[in-house]
Amino acid sequence: MIWIVFAAMTAAVLGALLWPVVRTKPAESVAERAAYDQAVFRDQLAELDRDVARGTIGQAEADAARNEISRRLIAAAQEPGRRRVSGLAWAAIAATLIVPAVALPLYLKAGNPQLADVPHAWRMENAEKNGDMEALIAKVEQHLQTNSDDLQGWQILAPAYRRAMRWDDAVEAYRNIVRLSPPDAANISDYAEAKVMANQGMVPAPVHELFRQALAIDPKLPKARFYDALALKQEGKTDEAKAAFDAFLKDTPADAAWRPMLLAEMQDMSAKPPALDQQTMANASSMSADDQQAMIRSMVDGLDQKLAANPDNLDGWLRLIRARSVLGDTDKAKAAYKKALEQFNGNQDALAQISALGKEMSIE
């Protein structure tokens, strides 16, 4: 369809370019160059006469000027006329073909004939008809700008934002849902979850509190239970986290959608103790030497406690022994060494590693 328009445009252009060739005037009908020059010079003479009549030019000056202009006029009259031809029809036709020859390949390369216009207003009007998610969101957004208390609007937006992974917008939408509806465990935990997502998967204390609120209303709500356990894990309360996860797993049907995720989190739990996060490292590097020592000691103490509660962790024991020795707490290092040997009694591989480290640290 659009190609018909293009063809018509091209045809009109070619027609207009060929018009002078078709309607060619005989060469003789075109005035000679000299005639144009003479027209100007005659006008200059007339102008000079008017200036003289006005008295705005001196007589001597006027005479000199008249002389000059007259000489130009005579020179123009003596100029030989140029030979003219009426034009070659075939050459002109060939020349006009330059236009499509240049335009068509260029347009094929640069143009998008298959694309339609998408005016903003039209798109908004037809959003429902076209199932245009983006436009629908924009429409509801527009509506909510003036009616920010419309619960239904927020209920449409919130999951749309979640699908589009616009987490900050989702937080805002769920916040409004919570604000506008009676207390509801599902709403609160959706709101809290959006906050977790906007926070790169971390559950800060205030958000954890939200999940607790949800659980107070509905203790069996799966989403709240999961994030509650996750928060406990992230807070380093490993036992409580483990207990919460275990309890949740027991209530989880075998075909629940969240089961794999839950298992993955639990698997991850029983692995290493959490490493130092970057913030702690950064804090440590800006501390005084004494403070640093104190911080490291408190961390090592923490590790000791964790191993006491959860002793089946060879890596943890090795790190504890090494840390105690390096810090110069030889007694505590020896105690840890002993406990580790007891713990892994019967595991030759582990015992070999522990005694090797004991030799290295000379605490045997």
Partner 1 sequence: MISVSEIGHFALILALGVALFQFVVPLWGAQRGDVAAMRSGISAAVLQLILIAIAFGALMHAYIVSDFSVLNVVENSHSAKPLLYKISGVWGNHEGSMLLWVLILALYGAAVALFGQNLPLELRARVLAIQGSIGLAFLLFIVLTSNPFTRVDPPPIEGNGLNPILQDPALAFHPPFLYSGYVGLSIAFAFAVAALIEGRVDAAWARWVRPWTLVAWMFLTVGIAMGSWWSYYELGWGGYWFWDPVENASLMPWLVATALIHSAVVVEKRNALKIWTVLLSILAFSLSLVGTFLVRSGVLTSVHAFAVDPQRGAFILMILCVFIGGSLSLFAWRAPQLKAGGLFAPVSREGSLVLNNLLLCVASLAVFVGTLYPLALETLTGDKISVGPPYFDLTFGPIILPLLLLVPLGAFLAWKRGDAGLAVRRLWLALVLALLVGVIVFALNVRGPWLAPVGMAVAAWLVFGAIADVAAKVALFKVPLATSWHRLVGLPRSAIGTAVAHAGVGILVAGVIAISLWRVEVIVALKPGESTPVGKYAVTFQGEGPLTGPNYSGRVGTFLLKEGDRELATLHSEKRIFRPSGMPTTEVGLYQTWHGDVYVVMGDETTGGARAMRMYYNPFVNFIWLGAAVMFAGGLLSISDRRYRVGAPKRAASLQAVPAE
Residues 13-42 that bind partner 1 (CB under 8 A): 13, 16-21, 24-25, 27-33, 35-42
Count of positions on this chain that bind partner 1 (CB under 8 A) = 84
Residues 53-72 that bind partner 1 (CB under 8 A): 54-56, 58, 61, 64-65, 68-69, 72
CB of 177 to partner 1, least distance (A): 23
103 is a contact residue toward partner 1 (CB under 8 A): yes
Q: Does 11 bind partner 1 (CB under 8 A)?
A: no
Residue 362 to residues 208, 300, 334, 339, 358, Cα–Cα distance (Å): 46, 20, 10, 16, 6
* Contact between 2 and partner 1 per CB under 8 A: yes
Q: Is 301 in the site for partner 1 (CB under 8 A)?
A: no
Q: What distances in angstroms separate CA 32 from CA 23, 27, 40, 62, one per listed residue?
A: 20, 10, 13, 29
Among 11, 98, 263, 282, binds partner 1 (CB under 8 A): 98
Is 116 or 165 the residue whose CB approaches partner 1 more closely? 116
Residue type, 67: N
- Minimum separation from the CB atom of position 172 to partner 1 (A): 16
- Kindly list the distances between the CA atom of residue 41 and the CA atoms of 21, 36, 76, in Å, as whole numbers in the listed order: 32, 9, 9
Identity (one letter) of the amino acid at 88? L
Which is closer to partner 1, CB of 25 or CB of 179?
Answer: 25
- Considering only residues 111 through 130, tell me which ones interact with partner 1, judged by CB under 8 A: 111-113, 115-123
- Token duo for residue 99: 């236009």
Which residue, 37 or 240, is less far from partner 1 as judged by CB?
A: 37
Site for partner 1 in 132-171 (CB under 8 A): 134-135, 137-138
Closest by Cα among 127, 158, 154 to 143 = 154
- The one among 11, 70, 86, 243 contacting partner 1 by CB under 8 A: 86
Between CA 70 and CA 62 the distance in angstroms is: 12
Q: Which amino acid is at 131?
A: G
Any long-range contacts for 16-19 (C-beta under 8 Å, 24+ apart)? Answer: 17/96, 17/99, 18/92, 18/93, 18/96
User: For partner 1, which stretch binds (CB under 8 A), given 90-98, 147-155, 173-181, 281-289?
Assistant: 90-98
Please name the residue that has the structure tokens 């707490």. 329
Name which of 94 and 356 has its Cβ closer to partner 1.
Answer: 94
